[in-house]
Homo-oligomer: A and B are copies of this chain.
Amino acid sequence: MSPSVEDLAGNRVEDLPLTWLRDNCPCPRCRDPRNGQKLFQITELPTGLALDAVRRTADGVEVDWAPDGHRSAYSARWLTANRPAAGEGSGDRRGENGKTLWSAADLNGRLPEASWTEYLGNPAVKARVLEAVLGLGFALLRDVPCREGQVLEVAETFGYVRETNYGRLFDVRVEPDPNNLAFTGARITPHTDNPYRDPVPTLQLLHCLSNAAVGGDSGLVDGFKAAALLRAEDPEAFAVLTRTPVPFRFSDARTELAADRPLIDVDGRGRIREVRFNNRSIGTLLLPADELEAFYRAYRTFAEITLRPELQLEFRLLPGDCLIFDNVRLLHARTAFEESGARHLQGSYADLDALAGTLAVLRRERAVAAREFVDELAELFAGEGASAYLGEQVTMAQHMLQAAARAEEAGAPDALVAAALLHDLGHFHGPVSGAELMEGTDNRHSHTGADRLAEWFGPEVTEPIRLHVAAKRYLCAVEPGYFGRLSQASVYTLEVQGGPMSPAEVAAYEANPYAADGVAVRRWDDEGKDPEAPTPDFARFRPLLMALLRKD
A315 an interface residue at 8 Å Cβ cutoff? Answer: no
Q: Which residue of B lies closest to A201 (CB)?
A: B199
Chain B residues closer than 8 Å to A288, beta-carbon distance: 84-86
CA distance A62 to B86 in the complex (A): 58
CA distance A10 to B15 in the complex (A): 63
Instruction: Judge whether B24 and A289 touch: CB under 8 Å.
Output: no
Closest Cβ of chain B: how far from A121's Cβ, in Å?
20
Chain B residues closer than 8 Å to A357, beta-carbon distance: 165, 255-258
CA distance A15 to B290 in the complex (A): 11
Closest Cβ of chain B: how far from A97's Cβ, in Å?
10
**Given A41-B303, A84-B289, A245-B269, are A360 and B35 also a contact pair (CB < 8 Å)?**
no
Instruction: Judge whether B86 and A251 touch: CB under 8 Å.
Output: no
A511 an interface residue at 8 Å Cβ cutoff? Answer: no
Chain B residues closer than 8 Å to A24, beta-carbon distance: 284
CA distance A161 to B160 in the complex (A): 11
Instruction: Judge whether B364 and A296 touch: CB under 8 Å.
Output: no
Chain B residues closer than 8 Å to A86, beta-carbon distance: 287-288
CA distance A255 to B198 in the complex (A): 25
Q: Which residue of B lies closest to A40 (CB)?
A: B279
Pick out which of these stretches binds chain B: A88-96, A478-486, A500-508: A88-96
**Given A87-B286, A189-B41, are A19 and B296 also a contact pair (CB < 8 Å)?**
yes
Q: Please, what's the 1-or-0 string for A209-250, where 1 marks a CB less than 8 Å from any CB in chain B?
A: 000000000000000000000000000000000111101011
Q: Please, what's the 1-or-0 string for A177-213, where 1 marks a CB less than 8 Å from any CB in chain B?
A: 1111100000001000000011110100000000000
Instruction: Judge whether B198 and A34 touch: CB under 8 Å.
Output: no
Q: Please, what's the 1-or-0 string for A259-296, where 1 marks a CB less than 8 Å from any CB in chain B?
A: 11110000111000000000111101111110011001
Chain A 326-354 residues near chain B, CB threshold 8 A? 351-354
Chain B residues closer than 8 Å to A59, beta-carbon distance: none
A436 an interface residue at 8 Å Cβ cutoff? Answer: no
Chain B residues closer than 8 Å to A261, beta-carbon distance: 92
Instruction: Judge whether A181 and B37 touch: CB under 8 Å.
Output: yes
Chain B residues closer than 8 Å to A197, beta-carbon distance: 353
- Interface residue from B165, B181, B284 paired with A39 (Cβ < 8 Å): B181
Chain B residues closer than 8 Å to A161, beta-carbon distance: 163
Q: Please, what's the 1-or-0 string for A17-36, where 1 marks a CB less than 8 Å from any CB in chain B?
A: 10110011000000010111
Instruction: Judge whether A260 and B165 touch: CB under 8 Å.
Output: no
- Interface residue from B95, B258, B289, B356 paired with A360 (Cβ < 8 Å): B258
A454 an interface residue at 8 Å Cβ cutoff? Answer: no
Chain A 105-159 residues near chain B, CB threshold 8 A? none
Chain B residues closer than 8 Å to A87, beta-carbon distance: 286-287
- Interface residue from B35, B247, B354 paired with A251 (Cβ < 8 Å): B35
Q: Which residue of B lies closest to A350 (CB)?
A: B163
Instruction: Judge whether A256 and B361 touch: CB under 8 Å.
Output: yes
Chain B residues closer than 8 Å to A249, beta-carbon distance: 36
Instruction: Judge whether B351 and A199 touch: CB under 8 Å.
Output: yes
- Interface residue from B82, B92, B268, B354 paired with A286 (Cβ < 8 Å): B82
CA distance A179 to B261 in the complex (A): 36
Q: Which residue of B lies closest to A184 (CB)?
A: B32
Q: Which residue of B lies closest to A244 (CB)?
A: B268
Chain B residues closer than 8 Å to A179, beta-carbon distance: 34-35
Chain B residues closer than 8 Å to A37, beta-carbon distance: 180-181, 280-281
- Interface residue from B91, B243, B281, B296 paired with A245 (Cβ < 8 Å): B91
Q: Which residue of B lies closest to A32 (CB)?
A: B181
Instruction: Judge whether A17 and B165 touch: CB under 8 Å.
Output: no
Chain A 499-525 residues near chain B, CB threshold 8 A? none
12 further A-B contacts with Cβ under 8 Å, apart from A39-B181, A245-B269, are A37-B180, A84-B289, A86-B287, A92-B260, A164-B354, A197-B353, A198-B202, A199-B200, A255-B357, A256-B357, A257-B354, A259-B353
Give 14 A-B contacts (CB < 8 Å), ordered by A residue: A32-B181, A38-B282, A40-B279, A42-B299, A91-B245, A92-B198, A95-B260, A198-B202, A199-B353, A243-B269, A255-B361, A257-B357, A258-B356, A260-B267
* Chain A to chain B: the 3 pairs with minimum beta-carbon distance, closest first: A199-B199, A256-B360, A243-B268
